Amino acid sequence: MIMSHEMSNEMTRQYTIYGGELSYFSRKLEAAMIFYGADFVFRDKGRDTSNIEMRSGTHQVPVLLTPENWMIGDTTPLMRMLDGRFPARSMFPPGPLGVLTQIVEEYFDEWIARTMVHYRWHYEESAQFASRRMTGGNAEAAARILNWGPRACRATGTESAHQQQEAEREYVRIVEAMDAQLQQTPYMLGHRPTAVDCILLGGLRAHTNMDPTPKAMLAAYPRVVAWAEADADQWDGSGELAPFPESTGFVNFVLDEMVQTYVPYVLGLAPALAAGAKAFHASIYGEDVSYLCRPYPEASRQMIRDVIEHQLTSAQREDVVQWLKASGLHETFG
């Protein structure tokens, strides 16, 4: 499968995304490349993956093949690099506002991703749809994916009925906040897109406006559906973002949600990783939940701390510290 965009023929192609149509982070990077106005194509990673994985150092998707013939994974650092190449269309604004953007993006990267997994693999209709589409109808390969799905849900803490119900309620609140923000501005942080819009579009395009079960829920929000399907891509490169630290209603909603869910999760993960544990427990939605110890969320959190420490002036750093304290996020990122 090749999904082509402007100037994406064989003679002019510069960037290639190797990913998956139903991949959260692949569609996040695709959204970013559209916003950058980059010359790119999207290719299904497919079965012949050994060269891609060897060169990129990861089995995960997406991987970006650059004009220099580099193969690079990990969307957030990739977008930081691409911001340097497309500075007029950067997805991370400079200074404290860039920190705010990356922290909100982190919530969707490292927390809401598990809700996408739940919606896909805990509902039979969605699981059958996704497994067939991901494997091109190969029954044997689809069966393997269907066996993997519930294990991924257990690892990310959505095994119990209570966690499933509350995760869905959390996501519906997010959609409602998106809908409210779109009545005020075309993007979640103002009048131009950021990395936050990219990950939201990744979730919508790969999962909740794709899989039958969440798609039925999303139909009640036609403004959000239209944004995902076409409206978000209609950016002319202009526009301003809401200022730091006031930001938008959507951002302030997300920050409040983070304190209740993402914060106890990530603060429980860090010491468990340090102790070499394979799993840890955190209290989420009033229930003690077991999670697999995955190194990446902690590594990603440290990236944000590094930005605060090394990419801000002293005055900017103090502003961010005060904002983190007021937001209940200082222990997590300060």
Q: What residue segments make up the domains of the chain, in order of their start?
A: 2-89, 95-333
3-state DSSP call for residue 240?
coil
Beta carbons within 10 angstroms of residue 7's beta carbon: 14
Q: What is the pLDDT of residues 184-195, one digit of tens each?
A: 999 999 999 999
Radius of gyration of the CA atoms of the chain, in A: 19
Q: Locate tokens 């891609």: which residue? A: 52
Which residues contact residue 83 at a Cβ distance below 8 angstroms, ignoring those fewer than 6 apart? Answer: 90, 91, 92
Asked if 214 contacts 208 with a C-beta cutoff of 8 angstroms, the reply is yes
Listed in sequence order, the residues at least 6 apart from 127 whose beta carbon sits closer than 8 Å to its beta carbon are 120, 121, 146, 149
Residue 308 is predicted with a pLDDT of: 98
The predicted pLDDT at position 53 comes to 85
Contact 185, 223 (CB under 8 A): no
Q: Which CATH number fits domain 2-89: 2.40.50.1020, 3.30.70.260, 3.20.20.120, 3.40.30.10?
A: 3.40.30.10
Tokens at 64, concatenated = 């970006």
The pLDDT value given to residue 13: 62
User: Which parts of the chain sit beneath pLDDT 50?
Assistant: 1-12
What pLDDT was estimated at residue 9? Answer: 32
pTM > 0.75: yes or no: yes
Are 266 and 189 in contact by the 8 Å Cβ rule? The answer is no
